[in-house]
Structure 1
Amino acid sequence: MSGKVSELEALLAPIVEALGYRCWGIEYLSQGRHTLLRVYIDHPEGISVEACAAVSRQASAVLDVEDPISGDYTLEVSSPGMDRPLFTLEQFAESTGEQVKIKLRAPYEGRRNFQGVIRGVEGDEVVLQVEDHEYLLPIDSIDKSNIIPRF
């Protein structure tokens, strides 16, 4: 997790939790003059548009006061959805048995993209079953990961 994401999570997670939701994760995407801050919130009973709006209002107020992002940015508050991104070892452990797509920051055994079934977590590594091969992927090497929804 980058320093900026850690800083934003430390600032915003308590707000999300105070409103009764789980801070699922934060994406901070800065591309030139456009910056996007996406906050994923979750709740066992689901997330409504009203919940996103309430978190957005509170987060905006804190971001305006603390000013952790220089320049203009767009704030989005969203449910993680069915194809939820996974950010933490805890989330990977909770998702054991799920199909997932994982993109690594750097190639591992000659590849950066993996698709398989999460078998669990060992230490700071995600255990991923891809066909008949099991990979141990360090959480710090994972750039992006999403559950593949089952219909």
Structure 2
Amino acid sequence: MRNDTLLQKLQKIAQPIVEKNNCELYHLEYVKEAGENYLRIYIDSSNGISLEDCEKTSRGISEILDVEDPITDSYCLEVSSPGIERVLYDDNHLNKYIGQNVLVNLNSLYEGVKKLEGNLLGFSDVQIEIQYDGNNISIPKDKISVVSLKPEL
């Protein structure tokens, strides 16, 4: 099964369980790290995420995965909050956090730097715009490896 198809199937399995627990499915990934497979499900809520939210969601998803068995390899299931310095994976996440402080990690030097921190002003299909060092700059999305929230504490 192709990874995209597997992720779609896993999302269909996880979504109703997450919503039943009054949370939203923030992100889901199936990755291999150090020879181990991980199914990571990040859940979010406007009220924050408790350990109990993660446990209930994990139990519910695990029960269905045991029955439907879409993953043929052995894996570890992890359910957690995306955290305060959460990665912004897609346009929905970017849109939700316009006006917030972000850290943009680049996959190569851009204007002499590899990391930019600033206020997220907007984005398009090909770039994101942040206020960095008092200037509005546009960064091509193909130069970006990760964008994450960088709350001012």
- TM-score grouping bracket, smaller chain normalisation: 0.7 to 0.9
1:14 lines up with 2:24 in the alignment = no
Stretches of structure 1 that go unaligned for 5 or more consecutive residues are: none
Q: Greater CA radius of gyration, 1 or 2?
A: 2
Q: Following the alignment from structure 1 to structure 2, what is the Cα–Cα distance between the partners of residues 141 and 22?
A: 29
Q: Identify the range of structure 1 (109-118 vs 38-47) with the bigger mean alpha-carbon deviation.
A: 109-118
Per-residue CA shift, 1:43-93, capped at 9, x if unaligned? 111111111100000111122222222222111111122111212212111
One-letter amino acid matched to 1:97 = G
Q: Which residue number corresponds to residue 99 of structure 2?
A: 97
One-letter amino acid matched to 2:27 = G
Give the 5 Å matches for 1:2-151: 3=4, 4-31=6-33, 33-103=35-105, 107=108, 109=110, 113-123=115-125, 125-131=127-133, 132-138=135-141, 143-151=145-153
Structure 1 pair 13/114, CA: closer, same or farther in 2 (3 Å)? farther
Q: Alignment RMSD, CA only? A: 2.7
2:129 and 2:136 in contact (8 A); partners too:
no
The number of residue pairs the alignment matches comes to 148
Per-residue CA shift, 1:24-45, capped at 9, x if unaligned? 1113221363011211111111
1:97 and 1:117 in contact (8 A); partners too:
yes
> TM-score w.r.t. structure 2 length?
0.78
Stretches of structure 2 that go unaligned for 5 or more consecutive residues are: none
Extract structure 1 runs of 4+ deviating beyond 6 A: none
Shift in Å, 1:118: 1.0
One-letter amino acid matched to 1:135 = S
